[in-house]
């Protein structure tokens, strides 16, 4: 039997990312720091493709590579080996939170974390012109950076500190120049995304090396061998919050191609990122985050539960359903229990966090897809395969909706009507997950916490 490591929680996107994990992690860290002196926040996957939003008073922070726990004093935020990090974007992000006087955390980057560079972004956009698989990416060079690991030539954080760093980065530049030339493009002239400076030209090797040289000076102090730090703290009672990026539905094994990312958004990614120190089975609470009344996604994937455009447009406007990183409008689906319970299963979830509970209109019942059937009427499972999903027919159950405006920003369970409580209970029972937290708006304090969730 596996022992439970008390005071540990993982927060995973239960669907296709953008569920509101940033705010959830912020709230969990807030609660924990009031009880303990120290909290470790560990991010194990993704890179600047993520967009985790936290709204504090009138400031809106969209964090990409730095964990959301960074906005809370007393946390130590570790950027783990399972991530891929773009140094330029990281510097911009650090500057944004520093400018606002909000850097109250200790940030540490695992020296083993691979780099995702402008070369990867350029290669991704070159590929995008030729293949379907790249068409839905966020343009942040995530997949090529992870592919470098498989191809056995990743550049890692510690390469920035190496005495031969220049040679290594020159070699990398020349490799990508050739790859891109093979695809018919000129790396020097390619335009790539950057977090704060818009689109930039990659430039020649000299320009590339100069940029890296400036970046290494600025982030050197954050790079460490984190193995003992993670191990010692994991073997103590200090709380750990594992912050996931993206969502289970974007996992390359569990998602629908081509709209998948390259990293492991499930807790199993924690095992590899911590080099086996943290067995995810021992994490006390494995929380999956879902939007309470609908599901959103970006890409070509079509679930059987697509909502009619009139209601979808209303939700898109009210819930600002535009990608935090790319600003792309998101597709809106009804709650799709076959898909969501599949994601809960493959990510070993134990608890549920429901966000956006305020998106509910009294004049419009909430349609929940309870199961799929095939053309013959036989019940079928969700499978991560678009061709299969085209043949799935959703069967719905309707729930009476509540007035979302009335509970907007509510913090107390008693504000929820019996109707709302019944709905939450139905979802958590159907997904076989224990309720942990509910959010009722985008502001930091708009949360109903687990202590009150006696439904």
Residues that bind ligand IMP (CB under 6 A): 16-18, 49-51, 136-138, 140, 142-143, 245-246, 250, 259-262, 298-299
Considering the complex, what minimum distance in angstroms separates the CB of residue 93 from ligand IMP? 14
434-439: strand order across its sheet: 223-224, 106-110, 75-79, 39-43, 240-243, 5-13, 283-291, 351-355, 434-439, 447-448
Question: What separation in angstroms does the CA of 207 have from each of 82, 191, 213, 431?
Answer: 29, 14, 10, 52
Cα 296 to Cα 298: distance, rounded to the nearest angstrom:
7
230 vs 312, beta carbon nearer ligand IMP: 312
| DSSP labels, 84-106 | -B-HHHHHHHHHHHHHTT---SE
Cα 16 to Cα 260: distance, rounded to the nearest angstrom:
9
| DSSP labels, 260-304 | --SS--STHHHHHHTTTSS-GGGEEEEEEEEESS-EEE-SS---T
Tokens 């995702």 sit on residue:
116
Cβ 61 vs Cβ 97: under 8 Å: yes
Read off φ and ψ for residue 244, nearest 5 degrees.
-85, 155
Cβ 372 vs Cβ 338: under 8 Å: yes
Considering the complex, what minimum distance in angstroms separates the CB of residue 421 from ligand IMP? 29
Considering the complex, what minimum distance in angstroms separates the CB of residue 220 from ligand IMP? 27
Active-site residues: which are they?
Answer: 18, 52
Considering the complex, what minimum distance in angstroms separates the CB of residue 232 from ligand IMP? 31
27 vs 124, beta carbon nearer ligand IMP: 124
Read off φ and ψ for residue 280, nearest 5 degrees.
-60, -25
Q: Which residue is nearest to ligand IMP (CB)?
A: 17
Considering the complex, what minimum distance in angstroms separates the CB of residue 195 from ligand IMP? 14
DSSP 173: H
Q: Which of 94, 81, 90, 89 is nearest to 44 (CA)?
A: 81
Cβ 17 vs Cβ 246: under 8 Å: yes
Cβ 147 vs Cβ 200: under 8 Å: no
Return the C-alpha torsion angle 297, 301, 303, 309, nearest 10: 60
> How, if at all, do strands 52-56 and 223-224 pair?
unpaired
| 3-state SS assignment for residue 396 | strand
């Amino acid at each position: 039997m596996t022992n439970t490591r008390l005071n540990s929680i993982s927060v995973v996107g239960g669907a296709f990312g953008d569920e509101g994990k940033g705010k959830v992690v912020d709230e969990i860290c807030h609660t924990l720091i009031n009880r303990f002196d120290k909290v470790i926040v560990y991010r194990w996957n993704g890179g600047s493709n993520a967009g985790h939003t936290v709204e504090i008073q009138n400031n809106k922070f969209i964090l990409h590579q730095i964990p959301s726990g960074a906005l809370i004093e007393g946390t130590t935020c570790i950027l783990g080996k399972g991530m891929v990090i773009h140094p330029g974007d990281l510097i911009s992000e650090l500057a944004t939170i520093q400018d606002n006087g909000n850097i109250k955390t200790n940030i540490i980057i695992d020296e083993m974390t691979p780099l995702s560079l402008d070369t990867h972004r350029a290669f991704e956009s070159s590929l995008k012109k030729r293949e379907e698989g790249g068409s839905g990416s966020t343009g942040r060079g995530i997949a090529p950076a992870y592919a470098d690991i498989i191809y056995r030539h990743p550049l890692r954080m510690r390469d920035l500190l190496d005495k031969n760093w220049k040679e290594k980065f020159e070699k990398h530049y020349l490799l990508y120049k050739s790859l891109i030339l093979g695809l018919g493009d000129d790396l020097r002239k390619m335009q790539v995304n950057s977090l704060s400076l818009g689109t930039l030209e990659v430039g020649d090797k000299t320009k590339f090396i100069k940029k890296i040289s400036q970046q290494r000076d600025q982030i050197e102090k954050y790079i460490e061998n984190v193995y003992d730090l993670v191990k010692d703290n994991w073997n103590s009672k200090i709380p750990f919050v594992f912050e996931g990026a993206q969502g289970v539905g974007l996992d390359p094994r569990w998602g629908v191609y081509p709209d998948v990312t390259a990293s492991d958004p499930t807790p199993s990614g924690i095992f590899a990122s911590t080099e086996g120190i943290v067995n995810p089975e021992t994490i006390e609470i494995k929380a999956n985050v879902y939007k309470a009344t609908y599901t959103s996604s970006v890409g070509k994937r079509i679930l059987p539960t697509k909502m009619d455009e009139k209601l979808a447009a209303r939700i898109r406007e009210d819930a600002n359903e535009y990608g935090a990183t790319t600003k792309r409008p998101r597709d809106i689906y009804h709650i799709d229990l076959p898909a969501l319970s599949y994601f809960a299963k493959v990510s070993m979830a134990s608890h549920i966090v429901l966000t956006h509970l305020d998106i509910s209109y009294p004049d419009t019942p909430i349609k929940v897809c309870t199961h799929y059937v095939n053309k013959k009427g036989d019940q079928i499972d969700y499978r991560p395969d678009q061709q299969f999903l085209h043949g799935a027919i959703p069967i719905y159950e309707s729930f009476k909706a509540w007035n979302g405006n009335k509970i907007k920003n509510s913090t107390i369970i008693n504000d929820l009507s019996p109707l709302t409580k019944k709905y939450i209970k139905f979802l958590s029972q159907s997904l076989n997950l224990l309720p942990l937290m509910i959010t009722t708006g985008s502001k930091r304090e708009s949360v109903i916490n687990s202590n009150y969730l006696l439904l």
